[in-house]
Amino acid sequence: MARIQPLSGFPEWLPEQELLQQRVIRHLSTWFERHGFQALTTRAVEPLSVLASKGADTDKEIYVLRRLHATDEDGDSGLALHFDLTVPFARYVSERRGDLFFPWKRYQIQKVWRGERPQQGRYREFLQCDIDVIGEQTLSLRYDGEVVRMLRDALATLPIPPVVLLVNNRKLLEGLYRGLGIEDIISVLRAVDKRNKIGDKGVAPLLSELGLADDAVSTILKAAAIEDSDPDVVEAAVRALGVSHPLIDEGLAELREVLEMSGADNVRAALHIARGLDYYTGTVVEGMMVGHEHIGSIASGGRYENLAGSMGGGPQLPGVGVSIGLTRILGYLYGAKLLINQRRSPCQVMVLLPSEDDRAACENIAQTLRSRGIATEVYHRKAGWGKQMKHASRLGIRYAWFPGNDEKSHEIKDLIAGEQADVDLATWMPSSDDTLPLILDGEELSWQGLR
């Protein structure tokens, strides 16, 4: 049989990379729950009718399912894998609205699938981490600010480069475009959304193709260049464009409130942020890693007034949420060797094995340590001390445990400090910092809340 090859666009990590990913997931879950967000897992599969026509290029990226030996009548046709977590969330809410309490805050960490052409930073299967708040009939703008602030704070606790959040408001853009006499708003939004990739020089001809006059194109590009963390500066720049429409005032007011609520140097208004998905109606946000902007946004989201309600036919269920692209972040940092986890094993202690006859005694030592919450492994076969310790070091295990002949004669060696000392099996505890540091861009980093 031929050697198995990786599938392009379907990433998998090595054990030390996966260990870190799991710690990040656990940390984010705990963080979200601490702020009152409830866990949700939706099925990976939706009826195609729920997924289709959500905007931009999503349709052509949808993976549909078929049973290998399917007959035409068995009804599996029309099922497809979800491409994000917002649409399934909205569908779940509209299906279960009677069982939920609103406003409902939920987090959701799951894989999604997109049949994209695989390239740097683009995956066909990847992990998304979403938080959303959804209301019944109305949802205060304050949640837009809360969600942006949660995103800022959650990203700040991760072992990744600093992040800047760029915020905009769809109403502001729509007001500008309507004020310019444009009717096909979505097409203009989609063209402007490409600015980061293709620049003004790439966007301008796209706008001209839509039939816009040069003056309008120029104003749109001038607007798209506005970027500042001070709402007064943003408002002055927008007013200076000389366009007026009620939605401009509404959008500016909303943008100001979100900036003020989430206020920090690394949260800025940026009027080129448009987001390709059709369902956004107000606030939109994207996050970039500072110094690594070329990989594109690593988090994004916004406000959607009509998504959930439109599915169930009941009253409106407005929502606002953001999504963190865990796989995009980790895939890039791992791939560029910017983030290195030296711990391959979850264990802090390796109990060394003097001989096969000592196995039961060694297992008892391990069980004693485990009962106190200390992750512990017993070396798997008879070998010299040196070989056993070298193996522990390779796995990133910090402590080698030398079993004693009785309860009192145990010794422990710190494989980093190189120190060996007597130890009491009944009481020894490692400190929570007794693990090998992460390395981010050459700097050593503690595991902080990731343990």
Q: Which of residues 387-406 bind a second copy (CB under 8 A)?
A: 391, 394-395
CA angle 60, 61, 64 (to 5 degrees): 95
Stretch that binds a second copy, among 90-98, 171-179, 286-294, 416-424 (CB under 8 A): 90-98
CA angle 86, 324, 64 (to 5 degrees): 45
Sites for a second copy among residues 406-445 (CB under 8 A): none
Q: Are strands 299-304 and 283-289 parallel, antiparallel or unpaired?
A: antiparallel
Under the criterion CB under 8 A, does residue 42 sit at the interface with a second copy?
yes
Give me the DSSP letters along 145-169: HHHHHHHHHHHHTSSS--EEEEEEE
Under the criterion CB under 8 A, does residue 10 sit at the interface with a second copy?
yes
Under the criterion CB under 8 A, does residue 148 sit at the interface with a second copy?
no
Q: Quick check: 238 and 224 in contact, CB under 8 A?
A: no
Backbone angles phi, psi at 110, to 5 degrees: -150, 165
Single residue of 15, 263, 404, 437 touching a second copy by CB under 8 A: 15
Sites for a second copy among residues 45-74 (CB under 8 A): 45, 47-48, 50, 59-70
Amino acid letter, 143? Y
Smallest distance from the beta carbon of 77 to a second copy, in angstroms? 11
Closest to a second copy by CB, 178 vs 344, is: 344
Smallest distance from the beta carbon of 95 to a second copy, in angstroms? 5
Smallest distance from the beta carbon of 381 to a second copy, in angstroms? 8
Q: Are strands 399-402 and 410-414 parallel, antiparallel or unpaired?
A: antiparallel
Smallest distance from the beta carbon of 288 to a second copy, in angstroms? 26
Under the criterion CB under 8 A, does residue 2 sit at the interface with a second copy?
yes
Closest to a second copy by CB, 214 vs 260, is: 260
Closest to a second copy by CB, 14 vs 198, is: 14
Single residue of 313, 386, 418, 442 touching a second copy by CB under 8 A: 313
Closest to a second copy by CB, 41 vs 446, is: 41
Contacts of residue 428, Cβ cutoff 8 Å, sequence gap at least 6: 369, 412
Under the criterion CB under 8 A, does residue 106 sit at the interface with a second copy?
yes
Under the criterion CB under 8 A, does residue 99 sit at the interface with a second copy?
yes
Smallest distance from the beta carbon of 195 to a second copy, in angstroms? 26
Sites for a second copy among residues 109-128 (CB under 8 A): 111, 113, 115, 124-125
Give me the DSSP letters along 343-403: --SS-SEEE--S-GGGHHHHHHHHHHHHHTT--EEE-SS---HHHHHHHHHHTT--EEEE-
Under the criterion CB under 8 A, does residue 216 sit at the interface with a second copy?
no
Closest to a second copy by CB, 95 vs 414, is: 95
Closest to a second copy by CB, 69 vs 201, is: 69
Could you give the CA distance from residue 297 to residue 197 in angstroms, rounded to a whole number? 11
Closest to a second copy by CB, 222 vs 370, is: 370
Contacts of residue 192, Cβ cutoff 8 Å, sequence gap at least 6: 173, 203, 220, 224, 272, 274
Amino acid letter, 384? G
Q: Quick check: 166 and 268 in contact, CB under 8 A?
A: yes
Q: Residue 329 is encoded by which pair of tokens?
A: 């972040």
Under the criterion CB under 8 A, does residue 341 sit at the interface with a second copy?
no
Could you give the CA distance from residue 418 to residue 433 in angstroms, rounded to a whole number? 16
